[in-house]
A and B are shown apart, each in its own frame.
Chain A
Amino acid sequence: MEHYWQEISALTMRWVRRLSREKFSMLFTLVQPMLFWLIFFGNLFQRAADTQVMQAPNYISFLAAGVVIMTVLNNGLAGGVDLLFDKENGFLERLMSTPIHRTSVILSRFIFVMGITSMQVLVILGVSYLFGVHPATGILGVATILLIGMMFGVGLTAISMAMAFSVKSHGDFFSVLGFLSLPMIFLSSALVPLTAMPGWMSFLAQFNPMTWAIDAVRPLILSGWTEALPHVGMVILVMLVFDALCLYGGAKAFRRAMG
């Protein structure tokens, strides 16, 4: 157990070091493009969006929940990229030829991605706050938002790692990534509520786990506990199933790649 911890902390430190080596990259990781959605998209549609339809005082407060989960989505889907490079240049083989627990590398990656994602979510909620979006459920609500984000993020990171271990080249990886991310966003309640969508889109969006996550985060920000709790309970169930499936697939891909 002590060994396991030594391995995981050393491997996690490696990801942190890599990030800290590139000051620019670190800056852009924290102040990342999702913030532009919030600031520009949020303000741009302030008057175009119908607050009756949105069921929110203004568009930016409606959008905040979506941007939080979009951040989780992007980080999660990109979470396997570094392992992909490790696999391609042989670093992963070097790590796996040492007497470490087989799960250490993967676990370190989860810890790192979840840590960075949490920080970004907090940055987004902080910026939203500056635009007057004050979470109705307070600190505990923010903690719940982080929990939902993490649960969604674990599954996404597992998908990303599974892809990293299965693809032939990183070109394939990025094509799939680029292909997945936008439809996931549009076919969810991130930008407009399901009720305002064309029928076929809202039908598809129901099957998107992202919709469930956003529908739980949104009342936590806009309304309060009474309205949020049923959604939170539901999303936790959905995410447990989602994570179980993704982790199962990820473990299978990992075992196939690592013999």
Chain B
Amino acid sequence: MDRTIAIDVSHLCKTYDSHHAVNDLSFQVYAGEIFGLLGPNGAGKSTTLRTLITLLHPTSGTATVMGHDTVREADTVRTLIGYVPQERAIDRFLTGREHLQLLGALYHLTTDEATKRINELLKLVDLEDHADRPAKTYSGGMKRKLDIACGLLPNPKILFLDEPTLGLDVQSRLRIWEYVRMLKARGMTVVMTTNYLDEADQLCDRLAIIDGGKIKTLGSPIELKIALGGDIVSLTLKELDRIPSLETELKGRPAIKSVRTTTKGLDIRVESPEKALPAILEAANRLGCSIEFIQYNRPRLDDVFIAHTGRAITESIPETESAS
């Protein structure tokens, strides 16, 4: 993977009166990845994002986007980024096309350039048929798609998404995820904030868990889960006397971190189930242990979150969550 640094945040602090919204934040975003800022409301995600899109000046510390300082070279940064604010940043009286035309002028596109790009984008987000209706007639999902088209209009190197699926129904949500993955496939760098754990888990290559204005941990979802101790495969054996021999056999094998005996079998901590499961089954087979029951527990990002912040993410997760 390309490890060019797209965004470099260094010792960023933002203080309002005596309240530290963001306190000594440092991280890097690589070009071409989907980077997530995960945390409850008020954790400092939005402050960080708004600094990166040049709308906030840091109290101290710096942030650069493609090597350009967000304060001193704000205008350059603005030409490189696209921004999708939280839902409903839409003028209900304008049509979808007019939104894009307005932004086209603000990015100083010529009319021809703008028309061409607008048609492409409307097609991309499936809004061609509704482009000339005022946005107040749009559904939540359509508004979100228009939002994303607006963010993509400047053909940005980096796209910033603020809570991209907040309050959306399941289908729209999946649709947005699809777009984000497609943009990544096209080589775009995506930075998003979210307070949905499953969204961060599914979508982000790497994520930073932010709480109280500080980064609690940072890494890929898998790394973060592994750091907790890995997945657990629990075996229940038919012949309990075979447990010790299987334990010896499995200990120290690659992809297996630890083996612990239980009353009816073994609890095996594994690095990756893909590698460990065949090894476990093969060993059991070779020793002639018949397995009665096999259970596999993957630590969820919820566990990571709780481990690092000491509590569950405070925002309640909407009902749509369970269906996806």
- A90 pairs with B85, CB closer than 8 A: yes
* B79: contacting residue among A17, A95, A99, CB under 8 A: A99
**CA A108 – CA B94 in complex, angstroms?**
17
Q: Which of A5-13, A49-57, A134-142, A211-219 contacts its partner?
A: A5-13
Cβ of B108 and Cβ of A6 under 8 Å apart? yes
Within 8 A of B (CB), among A79-99: 86, 89-91, 93-99
- Residues of A158-182 whose CB lies within 8 A of B: none
Given contacts A17-B94, A258-B55, contact A98 B89 (CB under 8 A): no
A93 touches B55 (CB 8 A): yes
Contact B150 A94 (CB under 8 A): yes
CA distance A91 to B87 in the complex (A): 10
Of residues 87 through 137 on chain A, the ones whose CB sits less than 8 Å from some CB of chain B are: 89-91, 93-100, 104
Q: Cβ of A7 and Cβ of B89 under 8 Å apart?
A: no
Closest to B151 in A: A94
Q: Which of B81, B98, B101, B105 contacts A97 (CB 8 A)?
A: B81
A3 within 8 A of B: yes
- Measured CA separation A13–B19 after assembly (Å): 40
Q: Which listed residue (B54, B75, B90, B102) contacts A14, Cβ 8 A?
A: B102
Give which listed residue, B75, B83, B105, contacts A7 with CB less than 8 A.
Answer: B105
* A7, A10, A99, A259 — most chain B CB neighbours (10 Å): A99
Contact A3 B98 (CB under 8 A): no
Contact-residue bracket for chain A: 20 to 34
Q: Is A47 an interface residue (CB 8 A)?
A: no
Question: By the criterion CB–CB under 8 Å, are A22 and B105 in contact?
Answer: no
Q: A10 contacts B93, CB within 8 Å?
A: no
Check A97/B53 contact, CB under 8 A, given A18-B94, A22-B93, A91-B91.
yes
Which residue of the partner chain, among A13, A22, A99, contacts B108 with CB atoms under 8 Å? A99
> Which chain B residues lie closer than 8 Å to A7 at the CB level?
105-106, 108
Measured CA separation A95–B103 after assembly (Å): 8
Interface residue ranges of A236-259 to B (CB < 8 Å): 258-259
Given A3-B108, A11-B102, are A18 and B57 neighbors across the interface (CB < 8 Å)? no
Given contacts A18-B94, A89-B89, contact A10 B83 (CB under 8 A): no
Residue of B nearest to A2 (CB): B108
- Supposing A7-B106, A10-B105, A21-B93 touch, asked if A93 and B75 sit within 8 A by C-beta, the answer is no
With contact pairs A11-B102, A21-B134 given, residues A97 and B90 touching in the complex (Cβ less than 8 Å): no
List of A residues within 8 angstroms of B78 by Cβ: 97-99
Mask: chain A, 36-61; 1 = CB below 8 Å from B; 0 = not: 00000000000000000000000000
Closest Cβ–Cβ distance, residue A135 to chain B (whole Å): 36
Chain A neighbourhood of B106, CB < 8 A: 7, 10-11, 95, 98-100, 104
Contacts of A90 in B (CB 8 A): 85-86, 88-89
A contact residues around B93 at 8 Å (CB)? 17-18, 21-22
Query: Are the C-beta atoms of B105 and A6 separated by less than 8 Å?
Result: yes
B56 proximal to A (CB < 8 A): yes
User: For B98, what are the chain A residues with a Cβ–Cβ distance below 8 Å?
Assistant: 14, 17
Cβ-defined contact, B90 with A96, below 8 A = no
Given contacts A18-B91, A21-B93, A89-B90, contact A96 B55 (CB under 8 A): yes
Q: Does B107 contact A (CB under 8 A)?
A: yes
Decide: B107 and A98 in contact? CB cutoff 8 A: yes
Knowing A98-B107, A259-B55, say if A91 contacts B83 (CB, 8 Å).
no
B141 contact set on A, CB distance < 8 A: none
Cα(A89)–Cα(B107), bound, Å: 21
B94 engages A89 (CB within 8 Å): no
B41-85 residues at the A interface, CB under 8 angstroms: 50, 53-57, 75, 78-79, 81, 83, 85
List 8 A-B pairs, minimum CB-CB distance, nearest first: A10-B105, A90-B89, A90-B85, A99-B78, A98-B106, A97-B83, A21-B93, A18-B93
A-B contact pairs, 21 of them (CB 8 A): A10-B106, A11-B102, A21-B93, A21-B134, A22-B93, A86-B91, A89-B90, A91-B85, A91-B90, A93-B55, A93-B89, A97-B78, A98-B78, A98-B103, A99-B75, A99-B78, A99-B79, A99-B106, A99-B107, A104-B106, A259-B55
Residues of B bordering A, CB below 8 Å: 50, 53-57, 75, 78-79, 81, 83, 85-86, 88-91, 93-94, 98, 101-103, 105-108, 134, 150, 154
